[in-house]
Amino acid sequence: MIKKVIFFLIVILIHGACDLDNTAPATILVDTKKLIQTKIHIQKNDPTLLPAFNQLIKEADQALQEGPFSVTHKEKLPPSGDQHDYASYSRYWWPDPDKVDGLPYIRRDGETNPKSQSLNESDRQRIGALARNCETLGLAYYLTAEEKYAEKVAELLRVWFLDPTTRMNPNVNHAQCRPGHNNGSKSGILDGRLLVSALEGSLLIKGSKTLNDKEYKNLKEWAEKYFKWLTTNQMALDEAASKNNHGSYYDAQAIYFALYSENYEAATLIAKEFNENRILSQIQNDGSMPEEIARTRPLFYSIYNLHAMFLVAYLAEKVDVDIWKAKDNNSRLRKGLDFLVPYSDSNKKWPHPTLGDADRMELFPILQMANHAYPDGGYLNSLKKLPKEKSNIHRANLVFPLMR
């Protein structure tokens, strides 16, 4: 893209004396400018970033000992009978205590059924570990240039996406199954968002040559197939019609997979329609999100949905579409932000009924992104209201945005 080339040239002019290792990475979601600045500051032992950097390396070293992960590792076959199909179970669905066999399952919103996380039957924990470790190791590689991190990312990607004996089929047909109801539900498409972090890891290690050109080509082809499934499968299209955070995260992964597979026309269409389809339909003029407030954990889901919207706004910049509307006083996206910012203060009570309290630290990456989009808003000041010991080691100090 022209914008990325121009940025790269500016970086060279400004930091010409820096090592060649500080060249721009080929990331899609991760902010390139922020990542380069972080690497330069880490090389200078900037004390403001070292706690977060040290935490990252600690987690990366742990990730070296984990995996690889594969959908073929579960013991129970998915409903299709194909061990290469991803399968998971809806976390808020439980056996009916009034039925001998517990069927059909009943919904208890906000309460996680521990059996939904079973490694024997579900891939949910595996896809989560894949996403988390690829992101962690990819960032560790870029910031340190240590090949061991890149080699581990390459291993994880080969096993999950590329090896014919272990790879995942490019669909989530059987995500969030609900026993007694279906063999996969539209809300399960949400699980697919985690694949974004895995593929972003492939871009963070591109300078290492641990993955060859053919492997990158195969990853792109996998992304193309998944995007086609995402935009043609009826269950996926039903999810696209969702009027809450599910619709927002559908667009977040759809635009990412379009960009990863270089389908810029599709990415542009998603970006251009996002304000009308998601922001204006979900965020009220006062900044509230009725669909999220109606949930049992309204603050959590309001923050969660805004994060998805911010991700799409970042990705839309890649195709020159402005979703932020920073100069528009009536920007509904900014109103949604301003509605939630006060709750960075844990002493400010959420005014609606809620099941437990939300982790206010979930606002940390949003405030970092907000400062990028609305630099006149003083949003970084609200970071001071969050717990200092947690804020110091938060990954968003190093880079943003990152998939939730």
Q: Is residue 119 part of a domain?
A: yes
DSSP annotation of 344 reads G
286 vs 214: CA distance, rounded Å: 50
Q: Is residue 8 part of a domain?
A: no
Same domain, 195 and 342: no
Q: Is the bond preceding residue 387 a cis peptide, omega within 30 degrees?
A: no
Considering the domain architecture, whether residues 254 and 349 belong to the same structural domain is answered as yes
Residue span of the structural domain in which 354 resides:
242-397
The residue among 198, 215, 241 that closes a domain is 241
Q: Is there a domain that residue 138 lies in?
A: yes
In-domain check, residue 123: yes
The verdict on 212 and 331 lying in the same domain is: no
Residues 95 and 144 in one domain: yes
Question: φ and ψ at 403, to 5 degrees?
Answer: -65, 140
268/224 same-domain check = no
Distance from C-alpha of 142 to C-alpha of 145, rounded to nearest angstrom: 5
Q: What is the pLDDT of residues 262-296, one digit of tens each?
A: 999 999 999 999 999 999 999 999 999 999 999 99
pLDDT in tens, 353-388: 999 889 999 999 999 999 999 999 999 999 999 999
Do the domain assignments include residue 29?
no
Q: End of a domain among 241, 262, 277?
A: 241
Average pLDDT over residues 244-264: 98
Same domain, 264 and 381: yes
Rounded distance, CA 84 to CA 99, Å?
A: 32
Same domain, 184 and 290: no
Q: Are the beta carbons of 270 and 247 closer than 8 angstroms?
A: no
Q: Are residues 294 and 233 in the same domain?
A: no
- Domain match, 271 and 226 both: no
In a domain, 71, yes or no: yes
Q: Are residues 317 and 183 in the same domain?
A: no
The residue ranking higher by pLDDT, 23 or 14, is 23
* pLDDT reported for residue 133: 98
Of 12-21, 34-43, 67-76, 148-157, where does mean pLDDT reach its minimum? 12-21
| pLDDT for 1 beyond 60 | no
Q: For position 22, what pLDDT does the model report? A: 65
- The answer to whether 69 and 137 have CB atoms below 8 angstroms apart is no
| Last residue within a domain, chosen from 223, 241, 259 | 241
pLDDT value at residue 283: 98
Same-domain status, 156 and 197: yes
Residue 305: per-residue pLDDT: 98
Do residues 396 and 311 make contact, with C-beta atoms less than 8 angstroms apart?
no
- The enclosing domain of 126 has a CATH number of 1.50.10.100
Instruction: Give tens-digit pLDDT for 94-148.
Output: 999 999 999 999 999 989 999 888 999 999 999 999 999 999 999 999 999 999 9
Please indicate, yes or no, whether residues 371 and 382 belong to a single structural domain of this protein.
yes
Kindly list the distances between the CA atom of residue 101 and the CA atoms of 91, 97, 115, 125, 180, in Å, as whole numbers in the listed order. 18, 9, 15, 26, 10
Instruction: Tell me if 17 is assigned to some domain.
Output: no
The answer, as to whether pTM is greater than 0.85, is yes
- 35: in domain: no
Q: For residue 162, give the DSSP letter.
A: I
Predicted local confidence at residue 21, as pLDDT: 54
Q: Can you give the pLDDT at residue 24?
A: 80
Q: Domain count for the chain, please give it.
A: 2
Residue 155: is it exposed, middle or buried by C-beta count within 10 angstroms (0-12/13-18/19+)? middle
Task: Please write the tens of the pLDDT for every residue from 165-204.
Answer: 999 999 999 999 999 999 999 999 999 999 999 999 999 9
Say what the pLDDT of residue 115 is. Answer: 87
User: What are the pLDDT digits (tens) for 50-92?
Assistant: 999 999 999 999 999 999 999 999 999 999 999 999 999 999 9
